[in-house]
Amino acid sequence: MRVPRSSLVALAALMTGTLASAGALSAETAALDPATLGTPASPPEPAPVPASQPAPQPEPAGADPVSTALPDYKPEAPKAEPAPAPVATTPVVPTDPLAAAVLARFGESAPLLLRLTGKDRDGIRAFYEARAYKPLWIADGAWTEAAKSVSARLAAAGEDGLDARAYAVPNLAEKPDEKAVADADLRFSAAALVYARDARGGRVNLASISRLITPQLDLPNADAVLTKLADAGAKAGDALQGYNPATAGYLALKARLASLRGPAPAAAVKPLRLPSGPALRVGMRDPRVPLLRAHFGLETRPAGTLDRPPGEPEEYDSVVSDAVAKFQRGRGLPGNGVLNVQTVLALADAGRPARASGSEAELIVNMERWRWLPGDLGSDYILVNVPEYRLRAYRGGSLRDEARVIVGKPESRTPLFSGLMEYAVVNPSWYVPPSILKTMAPKLAGYGGKTWGGYEVVRRGGHVSLRQPPGERNALGFIKFMFPNQHAVYLHDTPNRSLFSAAKRDFSHGCVRVDDPFRLADAVLPDWSEARLKKLIGKGERTIRLPAKLPVHLAYFTAYVDDGGTFRTLPDLYGYDAPMRAALGLPGGGGPAIAKLPEEKARRKPDAAPVAQARPAPRREAARPRRYAEPEPSARYDDYDSPGRHVRRAARADSAPEYGEPGLWTPAPAPVSRGWW
C-alpha cells in the first residue's frame, strides 16, 4: 500500500522539528551547567566539519525531502509496547534494633514451629509487617500480661482434648538480647496460631480417614487470630479458648474427660440395702418407700394441697421419683426415676464412689468430631447421628422432635458434612442411579418401549435412564427433603417402613430415610401441617420451598451424653474410630465395638396407608408372560435395598457411590463407545 506524499512530508517536518527541539534543549542544558551559572552563556558555535567528510551540498530543486532524508522508510503497523519489567523492591530495614531483629528472623530458614505451614508463616509476617515488626508478646525483656494469659491456656490444652506438647512456649532469658526476643515472640505467635486452628478442627487430615468426610472447616488465618488476641489484652487466653466448640454436646464430653482424669469423687450418699420387690413407678405404694424418703432426706409423706390432704408415707410420688432419677444420673444409669433392679444394686453399692466411664481416647475422638460442625449450629437445625440411626429436629435451640432413620451401608456410607435444606418435594419421582442402572444395560440395550416394569425409559442425548413415577411403591416414598451438596444425598421417605423396626439400620446407598417423614415436615415447614401435606398425596409432584434455609448436620458420634445426662456409647458403624485415634496419636487401635445400642421405645405405628385415602388401590392384573426380564418392585433397585436383596457391585467401601437424579446435582453418565447405550 502506497503512503500519500502529503503524509510523508508531514512526518518529515515533525521529525525535523523534534530534532531541532532536542538540539535547542541540549544547548539550553549546556547553558545551565552549574559551573557556568555565574557567567552569561555564549551562543553555541557550529561544530567543525572534518576534512575527510565532504561538505553538505544544497538540495537540488524539486528533490523529495522525505526520500532524501529517509531513503529506506517503509510504513509499519503499530507494535504493542512491552510491559515494564517488575522493579525489585528491597524491604526497608527498621531503624529500631528490636524490629530489625524480628525482620531478620523471618529471613532465617529455621522453622518457627514444625507444624506451621508456609502460608501460616507468611500470614504471621504480614501481621508483623503491619505493626512495623514490633514484638507482640514481649515488652522490656519480659512476657506481657497477654502472653501470660495465652501461655496458661496453651498449658491447659489437655482440658479440650488437645496435646499441650504441640504448643510449646519458648523460654526467655532474664536479660535477652534483640535476637532472642525476636525468636521467642515469633515462636509464641506460631504456637497460638496452631492452637486456634487445631481447636477448629485442623489437627486431622480428614481425607485420610474417608473421602466422604467433607465438612467445611472454619480454620482462622494468622492475621485474624493474632489481631483478636492482640485486641483482647490480658484476656487473650479467654479469646484463644473461644476457638474451641461451645456446643452442649462438646462441653458434656469435656466435663466427662475432666472427671475421668481427676480424683475419684467422694460418695454422695451412704449405701442403702433394700428388700426385694417389684419395680416402682410414680403412683405405686410399697413398704420400701419410707426407707427411700429417709435415705434421700425427704418428707415422711407427700405434702398436702388445697384439694387433698397429705398422702401416705408408702406412696411413690414425683418427689421420690425425682430423687431416684438424680441418683441414677450420678451413677451413669438412665435417669428415668424408676426404682428397678439396677438402681437397687447401685444404692447398695453407693459407698464406693463411681468414676466416669469411657476411655480418654474415646472421649477425645468424639470431642474432635464436634470440631467438624460449625461453631454455631443455629437455633433451628437438624442433626443426624449416623451410628445412632437417629434424627433430631431443633427449633429455637430446643428439641422439637426426633425420629429413627436408615443410613448407608458400610460399602455405601452416608457422608458427613453440613448443608442447608432449601425445599421439600411431595410425590417425587425417582431415577435409578447409574451404579444400579449399568447392571441392567444388557436388558435395556435392545428395548425400544417407553415403559419397562413400571419404570419410564427416558432418553436424553444418547443416554438412557429409568424414571419411577410418583406412587405408592416409589423408592423415595411420598416426600423428600433437599439440601444441595456435592454428594447429592438427601432425607426422604421410603415404602419399606418395616425396616425401621430393626436395631441396626444401615440399608441405604447413602441417603437418609426418615421414619414418619410427614411429622418431620410438620417440624421444618412452618406453614404446612402434617394433615395438610398428606392431602397432596397422589396429586402430582409438588415442590415446597422453606421460608428460610435450614441447617442440616450429618454427624458421627460413637460416644455422647444424652439429654438426661447419661453417657452412651455406640458401635463404630464405619470403622472410623481406629484411624481417628491413630491420627490424633492416641492409644488403642480399636477393635470390634462391643457397646450396645440404647433401648428404644416401641415405635408408633404409621398411619394406615395414606395412599388408600388419596386414591383407590391399584387393580391387580392377571399374570402374563414377560418378553423381557423386568425389574422387581422398587425395593430391589432403589436406594432402599432390603436385607438379603442388596445389589452387588464392585466398589471400594471408601469410594463415593453415585446418588441423586440426572440433571439435579449428579452429572449425566459419560457416553459409552459401544452402541446407543
Scanning 331-467, the segments in alpha helix (DSSP H) are 341-348, 360-370, 434-437, 441-444
The pLDDT value given to residue 607: 47
Q: Is residue 252's pLDDT more than 60?
A: yes
Cβ neighbours of residue 445 under 8 Å, at least 6 residues apart? 675, 676, 677
Cell of 269: 450418699
Greater confidence, 373 or 671? 373
More confident residue, 296 or 306: 296
Phi, psi of 264 (to 5 degrees): -60, 135
pLDDT digits (tens, 9 = 90+) for 561-593: 988 788 999 999 999 999 999 999 998 654 433
pLDDT digits (tens, 9 = 90+) for 47-59: 444 444 444 444 4
* pLDDT tens for each residue of 169-208: 999 988 899 999 999 999 999 999 999 999 999 999 999 9
Query: Cβ neighbours of residue 194 under 8 Å, at least 6 residues apart?
Result: 113, 115, 116, 120, 166, 167
pLDDT number for residue 637? 35
The per-residue pLDDT for 527 is: 85
Q: Which CATH superfamily is domain 378-550+606-617+633-677 in?
A: L,D-transpeptidase catalytic domain-like (2.40.440.10)
Check whether 88 has a pLDDT greater than 60.
no
d(CA 185, CA 322): 55
Domain with CATH 2.40.440.10 in the chain: 378-550+606-617+633-677
User: Are the C-beta atoms of 215 and 370 separated by less than 8 Å?
Assistant: no
* Percent of the residues in the chain that have a pLDDT greater than 90, as a whole number: 46
Tell me which of 67 and 334 has the higher pLDDT: 334
Listed in order, the ranges of the chain carrying CATH 1.10.101.10 are 265-354
366 has a pLDDT exceeding 50: yes
> CA 526 to CA 549: how far, in whole Å?
12
More confident: 87 or 285: 285
**Residue 269 has what DSSP assignment?**
S
Q: Is 463 helix (H, G, I), strand (E, B) or coil?
A: strand
d(CA 293, CA 285): 13
Q: Which of 487, 492, 509, 553 is catalytic?
A: 492
- Is 470:540 a contact under the CB 8 Å cutoff? yes
Supply the pLDDT for residue 351.
60
pLDDT per position as a tens digit, 404-458: 999 999 999 999 999 999 999 988 877 776 666 666 666 665 665 566 556 777 7
pLDDT at 474 over 80: no
Sheet with 430-431, side-by-side order of all strands: 430-431, 463-468, 455-460, 451-452
Mean pLDDT, residues 594-602: 46
pLDDT, the chain, mean: 76
How sure is the predictor about 638, in pLDDT bands with cuts at 50, 70 and 90?
Answer: very low
Distance CA 653, CA 649 (A): 11
User: 86-90, 120-124, 296-300 — which is least confidently predicted?
Assistant: 86-90
> What percent of the chain is modeled with pLDDT above 70?
65
**Residue that wins the pLDDT comparison between 62 and 411:** 411
Asked if pLDDT for residue 110 goes beyond 70, the answer is yes
Residue 637 CA to residue 572 CA, distance in Å, equals 27
- Tell me which residue has cell 415405635: 603
Higher pLDDT, 459 or 668: 459
- Grid cell in block for residue 377: 449450629
- What are the beta bridge partners of residue 508? 408
Write the DSSP assignment of 500-569 as a string of letters.
Answer: GGSSS-EEESS-EEESSHHHHHHHH-TT--HHHHHTTTTS--EEEEEEEEEEEEEE--SEEE-TTS-EEE
- Whether the predicted pLDDT of 162 surpasses 90: yes
Q: Which CATH superfamily is domain 265-354 in?
A: PGBD-like superfamily/PGBD (1.10.101.10)
Reading the block at residue 565, the C-alpha cell is 445426662
Query: Which among 295, 487, 509, 511 is annotated as catalytic?
Result: 511
pLDDT, residue 78, reads 56
How far apart CA 603 and CA 605 sit, in angstroms, is: 6
Confidence of residue 650 (pLDDT cuts 50, 70, 90): very low
> Is the dihedral angle over the CA atoms 501, 506, 509, 511 positive or is it negative?
positive
Tell me, yes or no, if 492 is annotated catalytic: yes
Residues in the chain: 677
- Three-state DSSP string of 136-200: CCEECCEECHHHHHHHHHHHCHHHHCCCHHHHCCCCCCCCCCHHHHHHHHHHHHHHHHHHHHHHC
Is residue 295 part of the annotated active site? The answer reads: no
Instruction: Give the confidence band of 300 by pLDDT, cuts at 50, 70, 90.
Output: confident
- C-alpha 315/C-alpha 302 separation (Å) is 7
